A and B are shown apart, each in its own frame.
Chain A
C-alpha cells in the first residue's frame, strides 16, 4: 500500500455484480447528482447534512422516485436506464429498505411483518412464517414474534424491521438513518446488529447517516453528500482523517481552513497565517487541518524555540466564545479577534480552564508547525 493520500478514488465499477449507479433526481429546489459504486458484500455509507439529498438518493435507488437522468445497475440487472427507457418498478427490484422509524405494519404482529415479503414473493403462509421465524431468531428477536409493533421498543422494532428487510434477500439493502430515532443504548445494540448482518455475500448495502460512528463502524466506503453532490469519498477512516468540507470537519471535530501555501508559510483565505514544518513541493491552494488537541492556548504570546517563523506565524489573539466537555479534555471554541470566519477549536486540560477563561478578555492561540496538515485542493 502507498502512503495514505487524502484524495481517494472510488472503487472501479463492478460489472459482475454489486451496485453501479449514477443518478440525477430533481426534488423541489434540490438537484441530486451522484454516483455510487460498490462490490457485492460491501457497505457504502452516505454522510451529509439535512437536506443534502441522502434520503432522495435512497428513494431513487429503491425506485420510489423517478430519475431525470442516469442508470442504476444492481447485481448485473439494469433497474433504471433513462436513455434506454428502462424503469423497473419498486416491487420488482429486489431492493430492500430499512427506514429510520421501522414502519412496521401496525395491524400485523412481528412474525407476519417479517413474513410479508416472502408472502408477497409467492410463498404460502406457513412457509413464509417459517422463514420469518428464522430471520427473527437471526436478529435476536425470536421472543417478539407474536408482539404487535405498538408493544415494541424502538430498538426491538428496528430489529424486527431489519429481519423483515433481510427476509427477502435483497441484492441491495438501503438503510435510512437506521439508528437516528433510537436512544443511546438501543443505538449501540442496533449498530452492533447491523455490523453482524450487513456484510452479506449476496448483497450490497447503502447506509445513509449523519452519524460518523455509523460510517466508521459499518461501512467499507464513505461518500459525503452536500447539496445534492458528492464532495468527498474514500475509505471512512481516510475521509474522517482528512475532511475536505467544513461539514465533515465539524462532525469529526477538526479545524479546517482553505489557504494558500508558499514554502512553509500558509496564508489562510479568511485571514491569518500559519507555518508548516514540511513545505509542499509546489506552492498553491491547500486545505489545512489541525487537531484541536494540537492547538496551544495561553494568556499571552509564548516564544517557542522550535518556531520556524516570526511575526504573524507566532499566533493570533482570540476571544473565548464557548466551552464543552470532550472526553478527558475541555474543548474551547475561540473566535480570532479582528476577523470573521469559523471559530477555532482547541482542547485543553480541565485544570487549565479556570486559568484561561477567568478574567482574560483575550487569549493567544498558536499551532506548532509539525501539527499543520496540508492537503491539495
Chain B
C-alpha cells in the first residue's frame, strides 16, 4: 500500500471525488477567492458605476442641440489639437530622453530619472503655478522674453500645450525607457556588424523593437494631455477658442447648464475610448 493511497483514503471518502476536489482548487482556495472577491468587486464598482451613472443620466434628447453649439466644436477642436501638439512635443523630447536614461549609468541618470517622475506625483495645479513662475510675465524666463521680444506665453494656446506636455511627458518617458531596457541589445550589435550606422540602427532596429512601449507611452501621454485641467486653467486660463479645452468647458458648463456638461462629459469619454481603441487596433493589426 503506497503512503499516498493511505493519505487519500484518510482524507476523503472516494478516490474519484478527491481528484475532482483537487482539480477545482487549482489557483486559490474557494474561501480565499471569496475574501478577495468582495473588495475586488467594490474596486470594480468604484471604477465602473460612476461612468454608468454618467451615461444613464445624460439627457440624450438634448445631445444634438448641445453638440451643434459652435462653442463645443471649438473646444473639441482645441482639445484635440493641443493634445496632439503636446504629444508630438513629448515624443520629440521624450524619446531621446528615454534613450539616454535607459543607456546611461551612474548617479546623474538616477537624479534625472527622479526629476522626470516628479510631475507624476505633483498636483497639476502646482505644475500650473510653477509654469507661471517660470514663464509668467514676471517669471524667471517670462520677464526677459517679454522685455526682449515682447513674447508672453501664459493665457495662449501655446501655454495649453506646455501645460499638457508638463503633466504628460513622464508617462511617455517611463514607458519608453522600460521598453528600451527590456529590448535585447544584441539585435543592435548584429545590425552594426551588418553595416548599419548608429542612426540606421536607431531607426530600423531600436525603434521597431520598442514600438509597443512607444505606442502605449504615446496613448497614455495623449490621454493625459486630453484630460488635463488643473495646470491648464492655472497657467493658460479659460479663454473661449484660445485656451478653453473640453475639460474646462465641462467644468464651466456644470454651473450654467448641467445637461450640457453631461453631454460634453460623454463626448470626452467617447473621444478617450476612441484614442485607446484606434491605437490598440493599429498595434494589433
Contacts and interface: CB of A to CB of B under 8 A. Distances in A.
B195 A91 contact: yes
A168 B209 contact: no
Interface stretch (B75-83, B183-191, B226-234): B183-191
Contact of A91 (B186, B187, B192): B192
B193 A62 contact: yes
Interface stretch (B196-204, B257-265, B267-275): B196-204
Interface in A225-275: none
B205 interface: yes
A121 B200 CA distance: 10
Nearest to B197: A91
Contacts of A94: 195
B193 A97 contact: yes
Interface string A264-293: 000000000000000000000000000000
A308 interface: no
Contact of A116 (B196, B197, B198): B196
A79 to B, nearest CB: 12
B194 interface: yes
Interface stretch (A4-12, A101-109, A297-305): A101-109
B96 interface: no
A116 B193 CA distance: 11
A107 B193 contact: no
A90 B190 CA distance: 9
Interface in B149-190: 184, 186-187, 189-190
B190 to A, nearest CB: 5
B209 A107 contact: yes
A170 B191 CA distance: 13
Contacts of A59: 189
Contact of B184 (A63, A103, A174): A103
B194 A116 contact: yes
A290 to B, nearest CB: 43
Given A91-B196, A107-B208, A116 B191 contact: yes
B166 to A, nearest CB: 33
B193 to A, nearest CB: 4
Most buried by A among B190, B196, B197: B190
A99 interface: yes
Contacts of A117: 194-196
Contacts of B93: none
A106 B191 CA distance: 13
B194 A64 contact: no
A120 B194 contact: yes
A96 interface: yes
A54 interface: no
Interface residues of A, number: 28
Contact of B208 (A89, A105, A121, A165): A105
Interface residues on B, range: 20 to 34
A307 B198 CA distance: 70
Contact of B194 (A89, A106, A164): A164
A96 B190 CA distance: 8
A200 to B, nearest CB: 17
B104 interface: no
Nearest to B191: A116
A43 interface: no
A96 B194 contact: yes
A184 B63 CA distance: 68
A93 B193 contact: yes
Interface string A102-129: 0101111000000011001100000000
Given A117-B194, A120-B195, A90 B208 contact: no
A3 B208 CA distance: 58
A95 interface: yes
Contacts of A103: 184, 186-187, 190
Contact of B204 (A99, A116, A164): A116
B115 interface: no
B126 interface: no
A99 B191 contact: no
B189 A90 contact: yes
B206 to A, nearest CB: 11
A313 to B, nearest CB: 55
Interface in A54-68: 59, 62-64
A174 B191 CA distance: 14
B109 interface: no
Contacts of A170: 193
Contacts of A165: 193-194
A64 B192 CA distance: 9
B159 to A, nearest CB: 39
A105 B205 contact: yes
Nearest to A94: B195
B191 A120 contact: yes
B187 A105 contact: yes
A94 B105 CA distance: 30
Contacts of A96: 193-194
Contacts of B187: 103, 105
Given A99-B186, A103-B184, A91 B208 contact: no
A165 B191 CA distance: 10
Interface in A120-161: 120-121
Nearest to A98: B190
B45 interface: no
B211 interface: yes
Interface of A: 59, 62-64, 89-97, 99, 103, 105-108, 116-117, 120-121, 164-165, 168, 170, 174
Interface of B: 184, 186-187, 189-198, 200-201, 204-205, 208-209, 211
19 contacts: A62-B193, A63-B193, A90-B189, A90-B192, A91-B192, A91-B198, A99-B190, A103-B187, A103-B190, A105-B205, A105-B209, A116-B194, A117-B194, A117-B195, A120-B194, A120-B196, A120-B200, A164-B194, A174-B193
Given A59-B189, A64-B189, A105-B208, 13 more contacts: A63-B193, A89-B192, A90-B189, A90-B192, A91-B195, A91-B201, A96-B194, A99-B190, A103-B187, A107-B211, A116-B204, A117-B194, A120-B197
